[in-house]
Structure 1
Amino acid sequence: MFGEMNRRALLRGMAATGLVTAAAGRAGAAAQKWNLTIYYGPGHSLTQLYMAFADDLRARSDGAFDITVRTAGELPFRATEAVTVLGQGQVEMALGYQGFIAGTTKVAALTGLPFLVRNEEEAAKAMPVLKPYVDAKLAEQGCRSLIFSGQNWPQNVYGRGEPMTRLEDFKGRNARGSSPEQGDIIQRYGGAPVTLTTAEVPEAMHRGVVDAVFTGAPNILGSKWEEFLDWAYFCDPHIAIEYVMINSELYEGLSDDLRGVLDATAADHQGLINEARRKSNAEAEATLRDAMTVVDAAPEDVARYNTDWAGYWSDWAGEDATLQEALAAVREALGK
């Protein structure tokens, strides 16, 4: 789906621009043989991008970093456990989606609040003020973020049977939400939320456990879910940030030289991954418009949804001073 933005093309492009550089003097260093656990399958387009990051890091460090990307099911950890197992040192690196890690790192779920941060333009204003709060919470749990992406992957509703034309059509349906906040959207409009990780969705759909699912368009194609879905309802309720994280103790234990290589590689791949995701989202939405019935939310409905959820944002923060502060900072940045 990414066309030229596959692993080999990424590395060729970086080599051509001088981004892939040999790390002189590191050839004799003991390799950091680490695992990066993710929740995508081996054929998923995002898996290829994270493998490209690992390949480039290996090349830049002359093999001092030897990271294996472990796809869904390879390690005995659920996606919701990413921060916990990483902080405990059970794995060296992990991918954490805002919704999956909401139970341990609630502030990261702020970008998943319904109709608060809806698109890439709003994310460009929100993330600079939000990320310090996310990083501080991760640090408390022994983790550190290296890369974030997903601001150009709006989450929407996909399902089978009769298409939805407004959120009130959740009534009488079982739907998968990948976060408590998505579950609240489903429930507010009359549906029954079911929490499933990415790997659990196909079986649940085939068994009739769920009728609809929240996700991003590229994930539909990357996971091959278009095979059992009939329609999409595009209302862009929120974006979908995920974080590549590393165990803090391991990070701090690196030499200055290796830490510098890791940071530089992560910074470069944040840009590469985001550009690839932007392109893939546009392509995926175009493909799905040809493959299924797509209903675009009416402008008046979107305006109504924004009004419906304003009070929810404050309720979500509750009495937690840090969450209140983070929410206030984001709302000020967005003018909401």
Structure 2
Amino acid sequence: MMKKLKGGLVGLCMAAFALTGCITNTTSTGEEIHEWNMTITVGPGSTWYEGALKFAEDLERESDGRMQIEIYTNEQLSAGNQEAGVEQLMDGLKDFSYNSSIIYAGVDQRFGVLSAPFLINDYDDASRVLNGESGQIIEGMLRERGVEPLGFGESGFRQITNDTLPIRTPEDLDHLKIRVPNMGVLTNLFRTQGADPITMPFSEVYTALQQGTIDGQENPVDVTYSSGLVEVQQYMTMWNYVYDAIILGMNKDLYDSLPEDDQALIREVAAEANAYQIQITREKEAMQLEELEAAGMEIYYPTEDEIEQFRNDSQPVYEQFRDIWGEDHMQMFLDEAMGSEEIE
């Protein structure tokens, strides 16, 4: 069983053994036992948690107990602050994390290219981007920032909810206070569409919705469902405006300190965990939508013409971030998302 690191031991491990893992024991053959930590942004009811749990359990089993991971939900190690959680991983103050690429963009705006509005429109687009040269660009940026990428999971397409009206056109967003992650692409996008974007840690969103501090939020179905937001939100619009990839990251210095055999084992187990997490995310979405509707949430599916209105209104964001993303990188993402068709 995975050992739980608590109180002072957590602090000791994170401070003294940040780059090598917290080694507290040895096996009967003298091999070191690594006790590591991992955080996810959302709670234990999410597919993120199920993917992280599979990763931790499989790694412990396949390593014969030498590699043990304790999972912390809701960014507990950074007091709910997602950007701080990513920075902890970059700095070696934690070992593993499942974080959305959107949160990385809150730390380094270059990552925002993966969340350009209406760039990725279906799962085929996502596969071409993440498994192509665009994905390699993201992996290179992660290594620059001290994170070893262990592949991508999936939170799904981000949808918008609110408690005021169904969102059918950009005009429906006018003056709505919408919580978004602390990321320039999304705050700029919602401003161009007339909304009032509010940034706050996700751990505060339910209470803010309940108290009327904000009118709505945007997240994939699984996050909205697993966080119980149906209790404080009446409308959801399935506009698929941003594809939300989650990065299974490991502190790079820690990864580099391990023998090649251990690195290979971690990568193999991570690939299986990511594939599992993606599978259950897609399988569960239809059921989750049915349950949300049964609980009273009205779900609206925009027409192609309505989506085109949102798409056209989002184009200024591409111009605003062209220099940050880089012309060549942005074009590569566009080409791969479109199936390498020429972009006019």
TM-score by length of 2: 0.84
| 1:36 pairs with 2:41 | no
CA-to-partner distance for each residue in 1:306-335, whole Å, 9 max, x for gaps? Answer: 2333343243122x4x63222111112213
Corresponding letter in the other structure for 1:221: Y
Unaligned stretches of 5+ residues in structure 1: 1-24
Aligned residues of 2:77 and 2:85 also touching (Cα < 8 A)? no
CA separation of 1:43 and 1:302: change in aligned 2, threshold 3 A: closer
Corresponding letter in the other structure for 2:257: G
How far apart, in 1, do the equivalents of 2:176 and 2:283 lie?
32
Give the 3-state SS of the residue equivalent to 1:297 in structure 2: coil
Give the 3-state SS of the residue equivalent to 1:326 in structure 2: helix
Partner in structure 2 of residue 170 of structure 1 = 173
Give the 3-state SS of the residue equivalent to 2:239 in structure 1: strand
CA separation of 1:125 and 1:311: change in aligned 2, threshold 3 A: farther
Partner in structure 2 of residue 308 of structure 1 = 313
Give the 3-state SS of the residue equivalent to 2:320 in structure 1: helix
Partner in structure 2 of residue 215 of structure 1 = 219
Structure 1 counterpart of 2:105, from 94, 102, 107:
102
Stretch of structure 1 that moved more, 289-298 or 244-253: 289-298
Aligned structure 1 segments of 4 or more residues deviating by more than 6 angstroms: none
Structure 1 counterpart of 2:157, from 151, 154, 157:
154
Stretch of structure 1 that moved more, 65-74 or 104-113: 104-113
Corresponding letter in the other structure for 2:86: V
| 1:288 pairs with 2:292 | yes
Corresponding letter in the other structure for 2:40: I
How far apart, in 1, do the equivalents of 2:333 and 2:165 lie?
37
Q: Shift in Å at residue 103 of structure 1? A: 2.8
CA-to-partner distance for each residue in 1:104-141, whole Å, 9 max, x for gaps? Answer: 23332222111111221211222222221111111112
Structure 2 counterpart of 1:327, from 326, 330, 336:
330
Unaligned stretches of 5+ residues in structure 2: 1-26
CA-to-partner distance for each residue in 1:262-281, whole Å, 9 max, x for gaps? Answer: 11101112211111111122
CA-to-partner distance for each residue in 1:52-111, whole Å, 9 max, x for gaps? Answer: 210111001011111111112531352112332112111111222122111323332222
Stretch of structure 1 that moved more, 57-66 or 101-110: 101-110
| 1:260 pairs with 2:264 | yes
Give the 3-state SS of the residue equivalent to 2:57 in structure 1: helix
CA separation of 1:309 and 1:165: change in aligned 2, threshold 3 A: closer
Structure 1 counterpart of 2:136, from 132, 136, 147:
132
How far apart, in 1, do the equivalents of 2:149 and 2:108 lie?
12
How far apart, in 1, do the equivalents of 2:316 and 2:162 lie?
28
Q: Shift in Å at residue 305 of structure 1? A: 2.5
How far apart, in 2, do the equivalents of 1:253 and 1:217 lie?
38
Structure 2 counterpart of 1:203, from 202, 207, 222:
207
How far apart, in 2, do the equivalents of 1:75 and 1:58 lie?
22
Aligned residues of 1:26 and 1:61 also touching (Cα < 8 A)? no
How far apart, in 1, do the equivalents of 2:311 and 2:175 lie?
23
CA separation of 1:283 and 1:180: change in aligned 2, threshold 3 A: farther
Give the paired residue count.
309
Aligned residues of 1:143 and 1:246 also touching (Cα < 8 A)? yes
TM-score by length of 1: 0.86
Partner in structure 1 of residue 114 of structure 2 = 111
Root-mean-square deviation (CA, aligned residues, Å) is: 2.0
Partner in structure 2 of residue 82 of structure 1 = 85
